[in-house]
């Protein structure tokens, strides 16, 4: 877990260095705080979960492997353990302190040496079983450790972390982040003219909004409550078309008898 955290920290410093190199201070700080760090925080949790998944078989599962390297490692461990006993027997037989080259002018009975080498095998079955279990455990640990290191390097660092860095600072991600942060205000990063244009856009949008609100507040021109639309305050009388004037008949007042 410490190795994964160290790699994640190195990736964080790398992305910060990239942002500082390609952008000014204001843009770099905005990218780091609003885009890079949130994405890296999510990525850190993904790496943590994946690491736990890779550790779970080694912590909860049965120690088993089909890698032939286990057999080779087991034989090497057994040879190393047996070598200590054989070295001790040879040194005692020839009365020497080490196995470096010696010139010996004496007669030796090699049968006794062979017998000593044969007796170096452990006759106690309990100790023999313990030695075998220890050798198998050490051999499996070496195989499992190599496999776990490969899994961390390939499945966590390369796939989960390195391939995700492209998405963190991709042009699409940066563009969307800038739009989400500054588009509601009509601002552009590091641009004074952009601020002026944004203020103008905001003012025009405010006037348009006020106009829309006035249109929504205008009452409908119905005869309910009024005799004619001209009776509404602030509204001019509607103009009559020529067609309506032709069809309109003049009223003649008749004298009252």
Q: Can you spell out the DSSP letters for 200-247?
A: HHHHHHHHHHHHHHHHHHSPP--SSS-SSGGGSTT-PPPPPPHHHHHH
Between 227 and 78, the higher pLDDT residue: 78
pLDDT of residue 121: 65
Nearest to 81 by CA among 130, 147, 152: 130
Nearest to 165 by CA among 44, 62, 66: 44
Between 194 and 97, the higher pLDDT residue: 97
Between 156 and 199, the higher pLDDT residue: 156
- Integer Cα distance of 92 and 58 in angstroms: 44
Residue 24 confidence class, pLDDT cut points 50, 70, 90: confident
- Integer Cα distance of 121 and 116 in angstroms: 9
Q: Give domain status of residue 213, yes or no.
A: no
Residue 50 confidence class, pLDDT cut points 50, 70, 90: very high
Q: Give domain status of residue 119, yes or no.
A: yes
Q: Give domain status of residue 229, yes or no.
A: no
Produce one character per residue of 209-245: b if its CB has 16 or more CB atoms within 10 Å, e if not: eeeeeeeeeeeeeeeeeeeeeeeeeeeeeeeeeeeee
pLDDT of residue 136: 92
Task: Say if CB 158 and CB 11 are below 8 A apart.
Answer: no
Q: Give domain status of residue 255, yes or no.
A: no
Sequence-distant (6+) residues with CB within 8 A of 247 are none
Q: Give domain status of residue 19, yes or no.
A: yes
Q: Give domain status of residue 197, yes or no.
A: no
Residue 80, pLDDT above cutoff 90: no
- Integer Cα distance of 89 and 84 in angstroms: 9
Between 111 and 121, the higher pLDDT residue: 111
What's the mean pLDDT when you consider all of the chain?
A: 73
Range of the domain at 149: 1-190
Q: Give domain status of residue 236, yes or no.
A: no
Q: Structural domain tally of the chain?
A: 1
- Tokens for 153? 């390097």
Between 12 and 119, the higher pLDDT residue: 12
Between 184 and 221, the higher pLDDT residue: 184
Q: Give domain status of residue 223, yes or no.
A: no
């Amino acid at each position: 877990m410490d190795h994964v955290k160290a790699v994640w920290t190195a990736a964080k410093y790398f992305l910060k260095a990239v942002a500082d190199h390609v952008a000014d201070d204001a843009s770099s700080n905005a990218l780091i705080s609003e885009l890079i760090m949130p994405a890296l925080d999510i990525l850190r949790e993904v790496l943590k979960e994946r690491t736990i998944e890779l550790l779970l078989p080694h912590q909860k599962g049965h120690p088993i492997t089909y890698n032939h390297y286990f057999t080779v490692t087991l034989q090497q461990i057994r040879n190393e353990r047996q070598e200590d006993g054989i070295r001790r027997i040879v040194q005692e037989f020839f009365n020497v302190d080490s196995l470096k080259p010696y010139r010996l002018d004496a007669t030796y009975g090699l049968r006794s040496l062979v017998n000593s080498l044969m007796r170096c095998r452990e006759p106690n079955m309990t100790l023999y079983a313990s030695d075998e279990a220890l050798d198998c455990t050490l051999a499996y640990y070496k195989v499992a450790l190599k496999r776990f290191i490969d899994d961390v390097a390939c499945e966590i660092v390369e796939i989960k972390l390195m391939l995700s860095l492209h998405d963190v600072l991709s042009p699409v991600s940066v563009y969307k982040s800038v739009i989400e942060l500054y588009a509601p205000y009509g601002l552009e990063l590091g641009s004074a003219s952009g601020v002026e244009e944004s203020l103008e856009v905001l003012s025009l949008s405010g006037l348009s909004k006020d106009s829309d609100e006035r249109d929504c507040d205008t009452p409908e021109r119905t005869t309910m409550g009024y005799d004619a639309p001209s009776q509404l305050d602030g509204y001019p009388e509607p103009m009559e078309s020529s067609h309506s004037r032709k069809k309109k008949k003049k009223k003649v007042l008749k004298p009252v008898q």
